Structure 1
Amino acid sequence: MSEGETIAKIAGTPPSPARESGRSPGRPKGRRSDVTRTRILDAAERLFANRGYEGASIRDVAAAADVQVHAVSYHFGPKEALFDAVVVRRAAIMTAHRRAALEAARTAAADGPIPIAAMVRAYVTPFIRSAGHGQPGWRNYAALMGRLANSPLGTEIIAKHYDETARAYIAEFGRALPEVDAAELVDGFLDMVAAMLAICARTGRSERLSGRRMPRSTEESIETLVRFHTAGFLALAAKPKG
């Protein structure tokens, strides 16, 4: 198995949070309580993705989950805490996959720098596959992350749950491209994340512009992004000085 195949296997489709053994923050009381919590989280995730944080109230979430308003507050507290629980539920899964993929890339590279393509693939593959494999919750989460990336609230939430892993990747990009300014590496990394989110948005614009009737496959989209952003990072290193 090649290095790319190994990383792609480890950076595979994340499982549904409902199948994870760990519980998200709150007040677990048993199986019935877990089912209620999952319904609330699923409903909140869908509403926040479609309406944004400000556009969905606790009452809206309760109605969508078919529970009493007090049940939402009992399990999650205020709206801010509910929103955080929605984000962290899948962020924990995504972080685990990305860290495993990065560790696999480090192992494959032995003592040398990790190839740029391997790092790009390790970071974007779990997210794009999760949004593209048909599970509605992950599609909603991808839409929610797209909203967060362009909002003041998102800056704080993303920093809390994603910055540590992002810094680990950026450090490896810096090791592979020591001649590139740190600020440029961060800009390149954020451009890569924006492209990843755009792919997952599935707005149909790509099909309209290209004249295709059907969207490209998840794997085709991943490979295009990997090739494009690998070239972009390498172009930063080739920038003329002075």
Structure 2
Amino acid sequence: MAISRSTLSLAGITFLAGAIVMMFFIVLAGVSDANPLNKTYFLSADTSSITDARDRSQWTYFYICSPGNVDCSGAWPAPAFGWAWSQDAANAPSELAGSAGNNTTNHYYYLMWRFGWVFFLLGLFFAVMAWFSSFLACCGRLGAGLAGLSSAVALLFYTVAVALITTTFVKARNAFLADDKDAQLGTYAFGFMWGAWAAIFIATVLFCIGTRTQRSAAGGGKRWGRTRSVRSELGGRRVKEDYA
């Protein structure tokens, strides 16, 4: 049984909307201590022995906070990883400390987090643009194609963001553990982040499938693939009649 283009478009719109909501949960973490924002962080680590650091620090998109995402630092675009402690702090993991970010952060983590932060924002922006354009998918193959293209662009930027952010915080967690400090990844933040990636991917596939649905020549239904040309059939009959 064929699936109509409107059904595919509606499903794609729903998946994109879900992805955008999950991405906003990540961006807004630290703004409020309401659930699930208070549980949304990329990394939580024991920083009690580090100079001028909280007993335990949680890294979110805009903030560095205490457990529960309270007592947060000021909001800052792509905050340096080492802003959880002071300049040239003692007892900070040697792999994380460095001269970047006012002598708080290793250059690798400083740049990886900064680029991941930017690509995440680009992915969110294009996901929103794709959601608006996705309503055109209900109008025909061209609309489905435009929606699929917009969604694919969002997927491209967001894939880079997810790869960079995941790599950064997994390596940071390992650096804390290697320094005998307790650390764990945030299940909510990474669940939302990878869930949003899967939703954008599925939406892109649905819009692309929508470009292949056709109205059959015999009725009003839908079928997959290209319809046979009526002109070709008439031409074939004419040839047969000429040779009869």
The answer to whether the superposition gives a TM-score over 0.5 is no
When normalised by structure 2's length, the TM-score is 0.31
When normalised by structure 1's length, the TM-score is 0.32
Q: Which has the higher strand share?
A: 2
Q: Which has the higher helix share?
A: 1
- Pair member with larger Rg: 2
